[in-house]
Amino acid sequence: MKVIICGAGQVGWQIARHLSGERNDVTVVDSNADLVRRATDSLDVQGIAGFASYPDILDRAGARDADMVIAATHSDEVNMVTCQVAHSVFAVPRKIARLRSQSYLTAIYSDLYRRDHMPIDVVISPEREVAEAALQRLAAPAAFDTETFLEGQAQLLGLHIEEACPVVNTPLRQLTDLFSTLRSIVVGVRREGTLFAPEASDQLFPGDDCYVISHIEDVPRTTEIFGKSQKKTSRVVVVGGGNVGLTVASTLEAQADRIRVKVIERNRKCAERAADALERTIVLNGDGLDASLLAEANIQRADAVLTVTDDDKTNMLAAVRAKSEGCPFSIALINDPTLVPLMDPLGIDAYINPRATTVSSILRHIRHGRVRGVYSIGDAEAEVIEAEVLSTSPIAGERIRDVDFPEGVLVGAVHKGDKVVKPTGSLRIDEGDVIVLFALTADVPEVERLLQVSIDFF
């Protein structure tokens, strides 16, 4: 597949890395020559420095025979014009655009993106993706990280292991024996800053962060076994009333099991806009770091605080302040992955990385055939990959124990027929199965090789 990626920032770079790693013909376009050089130096991609919306630049990038254009520059308008030029001048079959402005995303204007108007096949909204990730975190307060797979039938849970956890100092093999009907697998463990894929003889210790892939029906039992209470979230304080905070608050107040939400927004105009848009949510104008304002928001009675301003440090400090005032659970929006190691010392329970959610969403829309989705863990330390097994894949027809997976790879779930089953060594992987794999970043190329179709498939 020949793909042109417009925008070589973090999102564009990550997408280029994934697609070039699968032997796709990738060209990266950006007006910043340094970003283009970074991409071409570190990835197997071609690079063009220039404005992506210019027809001559797209022509140089190979738009005449491209299969897809992904417009992920910092400008909504550039992304939209790029898709229009790709369609009108070069007849590129598939066009994806990242759009931030809510005005472009309002449902009543969705006709704008029809093929005879502004021909964009898929619109990705980072704010909506982040809001969806925040809602997932609030729905699973026991986990510091979570993502769904297999069309919602399996869930990844990041769980912090504490002293009181019932399964500490227990070999993972023994856990399988103790809970034989539990459809959950520990696929990753972070210990003293190092992430690894555990073996059956490994144990969990207090202070570990473990990643578990569970059947959605077994999530409550899984969190209970790992010493986490599934307390229902009924009161939430949101710090930040911008697009993300507004989307989260409006979704929560529209849910059937009513959740009481209070929003704190520093900018008066933004606060007024949020107050006008929300029906049952109380909006307070002020600083989310102000202890008296947090007290006015009844932070000590809240079940969770969600800090989603446009500043990472403000989000982290507001989460810390809310916890110091009595809130038991905090989620912070963090753009800079180098700040994530500070979460544990500061006592922040969970975080959301907007770049990772946007990349995962774009990849979910462009995957065809074998790889259906990718979720990045930590600072690109590992990936959880959902993939369909094709007849020419080296693993088709093999039992899991007979597949030569690298040490950093574990199978977390298998969708076989109409059921999600727990992977065991004797389980055979057949053509048409969909598998969920945990892979350390260094082992991703080998996973891609195992999932690749041979040339005679075509």
Mean pLDDT over each residue of the chain, to the nearest integer: 88
Helix (H, G, I), strand (E, B) or coil at 132: helix
The average pLDDT across 195-211 equals: 93
Give the count of beta carbons closer than 10 Å to the beta carbon of residue 259: 20
The backbone torsions φ and ψ at residue 185, rounded to the nearest 5 degrees and listed phi first, read: -135, 130
Residues 351, 352, 355, 357: is their CA dihedral positive or negative? positive
In this structure, the answer to whether residues 150 and 101 fall within a common structural domain is: no
Looking at per-residue pLDDT, the higher value among 341 and 210 belongs to: 210
In this structure, the answer to whether residues 30 and 114 fall within a common structural domain is: yes
Could you report the per-residue pLDDT of 121-147, keeping only the tens digit for each? 888 888 888 888 888 888 788 888 888
Q: What is the CATH number of the domain that holds 371?
A: 3.30.70.1450
Helix (H, G, I), strand (E, B) or coil at 85: helix
> Is the confidence at residue 22, as pLDDT, over 80?
no
Contact 144, 160 (CB under 8 A): yes
> Is the confidence at residue 455, as pLDDT, over 50?
no
- Indicate whether 419 belongs to any domain: yes
> Is the confidence at residue 458, as pLDDT, over 60?
no
Could you report the per-residue pLDDT of 25-61, keeping only the tens digit for each? 999 999 999 999 999 999 999 999 999 999 999 999 9
Q: Of 124, 140, 175, which residue is a domain's last? A: 124
In this structure, the answer to whether residues 120 and 134 fall within a common structural domain is: no
The whole domain housing 156 covers 130-225
> Is the confidence at residue 402, as pLDDT, over 50?
yes
Split at pLDDT 50, 70, 90, the class of 417 is: confident
> Is the confidence at residue 20, as pLDDT, over 90?
no
pLDDT of residue 107: 63
Q: What percent of the chain has pLDDT over 70?
A: 95
- Indicate whether 270 belongs to any domain: yes
Distances (CA, A) of 328 to 233, 325, 331: 11, 9, 11
In this structure, the answer to whether residues 259 and 329 fall within a common structural domain is: yes
Shortest CA distance to 210 belongs to which of 156, 256, 258?
156
- Total domains in the chain come to 4
- Indicate whether 52 belongs to any domain: yes
The average pLDDT across 205-213 equals: 94
**Pairing, β 434-440 against β 382-388:** antiparallel
Q: Of 175, 190, 225, which residue is a domain's last? A: 225
In this structure, the answer to whether residues 48 and 86 fall within a common structural domain is: yes
In this structure, the answer to whether residues 328 and 271 fall within a common structural domain is: yes
pLDDT of residue 456: 39
Residues 406, 387, 366, 195: is their CA dihedral positive or negative? negative
> Is the confidence at residue 69, as pLDDT, over 50?
yes
For residue 456 the two structure tokens come to 């005679």
Helices and strands in the chain: count of H runs, count of E runs = 15, 24
Shortest CA distance to 161 belongs to which of 152, 153, 172?
172
Distance CA 398, CA 139 (A): 37
Shortest CA distance to 412 belongs to which of 237, 170, 214?
214
> Is the confidence at residue 85, as pLDDT, over 70?
yes
> Is the confidence at residue 95, as pLDDT, over 50?
yes
Q: Of 124, 145, 165, which residue is a domain's last? A: 124
- Indicate whether 93 belongs to any domain: yes
pLDDT of residue 457: 37
Instruction: Please report, as a single letter, which amino acid is at residue 222.
Output: T
Span of 324-328, 354-358, 452-456 with lowest mean pLDDT: 452-456
Distance CA 451, CA 338 (A): 31
Distance CA 426, CA 259 (A): 45
In this structure, the answer to whether residues 111 and 89 fall within a common structural domain is: yes
For residue 21 the two structure tokens come to 């790693």
In this structure, the answer to whether residues 96 and 149 fall within a common structural domain is: no
The residues near 149 (Cβ < 8 Å, ≥ 6 apart) are 155, 156, 213, 373, 375, 384, 386, 413, 436
Distances (CA, A) of 341 to 15, 190, 196, 334, 366: 24, 12, 16, 11, 31
In this structure, the answer to whether residues 245 and 351 fall within a common structural domain is: yes
In this structure, the answer to whether residues 80 and 25 fall within a common structural domain is: yes
Span of 91-100, 123-132, 217-226, 382-391 with lowest mean pLDDT: 123-132
Global pTM reads 0.74
- Indicate whether 113 belongs to any domain: yes
Distance CA 376, CA 402 (A): 27
pLDDT of residue 143: 86
Q: Which H or E element spans position 313?
A: helix 312-324
- Indicate whether 361 belongs to any domain: no
Q: How far is CA 96 from the centre of its chain?
A: 18
Looking at per-residue pLDDT, the higher value among 393 and 154 belongs to: 154
- Indicate whether 258 belongs to any domain: yes
- Indicate whether 230 belongs to any domain: no
Looking at per-residue pLDDT, the higher value among 297 and 255 belongs to: 297
In this structure, the answer to whether residues 151 and 105 fall within a common structural domain is: no
Q: What is the CATH number of the domain that holds 331?
A: 3.40.50.720
Distance CA 37, CA 35 (A): 5
In this structure, the answer to whether residues 61 and 91 fall within a common structural domain is: yes
